[in-house]
Amino acid sequence: MAGVATSNRQRSRIAPYLMILPALAYLAVFYAVPFVSLFRTSLSTMGGSIYLPTLTFAWDFGNYGQALSEYRDQILRSFGYAFAATVLCLLLAFPLAYVIAFKAGRYKNLLLGLVILPFFVTFLIRTIAWKTILADNGWVVSVLDTLHLLPPEGRLLSTSWAVIGGLTYNWIIFMILPLYVSLEKIDARLLEASKDLYATNRRMFGKVILPLAVPGVLAGSLLVFIPSVGDFINADYLGSTKTTMIGNVIQKQFLVIKDYPVAAALSFVLMALILAGVLLYTKALGTEDLV
């Protein structure tokens, strides 16, 4: 029966590969292929009729130069908005996640449910709902107006504030959940120990809770920042002619102007910038754990 035993061992060695095969195939078809194809497009020159364009691969790095020089403002603006939205999300989500993790007691699940509830409504509808809330003739604007708190444009809708607010609102759940998970994981005995050592609440927060929450902060920031940079729905519905983000430009390049190489180059520039930012940020926070 020795032969059977050997083949069983062989089979178990293959098994893990067979198990990841579907995922690998999925990645290859839906990630690697489009990625390579997009990369080739970004280095191609367009020929033929614009209605039936032919793309010729030509190592044309000029597309990148054009993308960077023509749309520098929109790229910078997108990173600015995404950064602001990430910081706002962090400031808003931390206290909430803290309360849910440490103070909510038996209401924990209810509160988490409430956090998730709005996300049963589609992204688009939630964004358009803000148009009604922030409308020029709406109560929010009139209240802010009487308090003299309106931005210089004299309105809320179609301003940078509305776009950043929309980004914050739409992505905040991806900050709350990882923060909650990393705070929830903190061993209560560590907090007791810090109390035993006469730490004030403030010191306990700074020396124990915050360092242990870093993986959550990191994961949350990435999950908010990355989709925010490429978002175009918020700028489209809540923004004005002066809040165009890079996502809007890429969408327009692909669907309206149909300059596929420049659109592809812009996508790669965006990807590279995000990747560089993420690496620096991960390094600065000095953690390899995500939650």
Partner 1 sequence: MASGLDPRDPRFRAQLASRRRFIGGGAAAAAAMILGPSFLAACSSGEKSSSGTSAAPSAPEDDGSPASGKLRVSNWPLYMADGFVAAFQTATGLTVDYKEDFNDNEEWFAKNKEPLSRKQDIGADLVVPSEFMASRLISLGWLNPISEARWTNKKNLRSDLADAKADPSRKFTAPYMSGMVGIAYNRAVVGRDLTKIDDMWDPAFKGKVSLLSDMRDGLGMFLMSQGQSPEDPSTEGVQKAVDVIREQKDKGQIRRFTGNDYADDLAAGNIVVAQAYSGDVVQLQKDNPDLMFVIPESGSSTFVDTMVIPYTTQNQKAAEEWINYIYDRANYAKLVDATRFVPVLTDMTDELTKISPELASNPLINPSTETLAKLKSWAPLSDEQAQEFSKIYADVTGG
Q: Which residues bind partner 1 (CB under 8 A)?
A: 3-4, 7, 10-11, 13-14, 17, 21, 24, 28-29, 32-33, 36-37, 40, 48-55, 73-74, 131-132, 135-137, 153-155, 157-158, 239-242, 244, 248-249, 252, 255-259
User: Cα torsion at 33, 36, 39, 40 (round to 10°)?
Assistant: -100
Question: Which structure tokens are listed for 218?
Answer: 């990191």
Tell me the one-letter amino acid at 217: V
Q: Which is nearer to partner 1, 153 or 271 (CB)?
A: 153
Nearer to partner 1, 231 or 259 (CB): 259
Helix (H) or strand (E) holding 88: helix 72-98
Instruction: Name every residue whose Cβ is closer than 8 Å to that of residue 212 and which is 6 or more positions away in sequence.
Output: 182, 183, 185, 186, 190
| Choice between 66 and 282, CB closer to partner 1 | 66
Smallest distance, partner 1 to C-beta of residue 220, A: 31
33, two tokens? 């292929």
What 3-state DSSP class applies to 257? helix
What does residue 257 show for φ and ψ, rounded to 5 degrees? -80, -30
Question: Which letter does DSSP use for residue 242 in this model?
Answer: T
Minimum distance of partner 1 from residue 162's CB (angstroms): 11
- Residue 140 CA to residue 142 CA, distance in Å, equals 6
Which residue, 15 or 210, is less far from partner 1 as judged by CB?
A: 15
CB closer to partner 1, 54 vs 109: 54
Backbone angles phi, psi at 54, to 5 degrees: -115, 135
Cβ–Cβ under 8 Å, residues 245 and 78: yes
Closest distance to partner 1 from the beta carbon of 199 (Å): 52
Q: Which is nearer to partner 1, 251 or 282 (CB)?
A: 251
Q: Are 243 and 235 in contact (CB under 8 A)?
A: yes
Least distance (Å) from partner 1 to the CB of residue 248?
Answer: 6
β-bridge mates for residue 56, sequence order: 45
Q: How far apart are CA 178 and CA 290, in angstroms?
A: 9
Write down the least CB distance from residue 285 to partner 1, Å. 34
Supply the minimum distance, in Å, between the C-beta of residue 146 and partner 1: 18
Give the number of C-alpha atoms closer than 13 A to the C-alpha of residue 147, restricted to the C-beta side. Answer: 9
Phi, psi of 151 (to 5 degrees): -65, 165
- Least distance (Å) between residue 224 CB and partner 1: 25
| C-beta closer to partner 1: residue 86 or 248 | 248
User: For residues 84 and 245, which CB has a smaller minimum distance to partner 1 in the complex?
Assistant: 245
- Contact assessment for residue 265 and residue 46, using Cβ atoms and an 8 Å cutoff: no
As measured in angstroms, the least distance from the Cβ of 49 to partner 1 is: 5
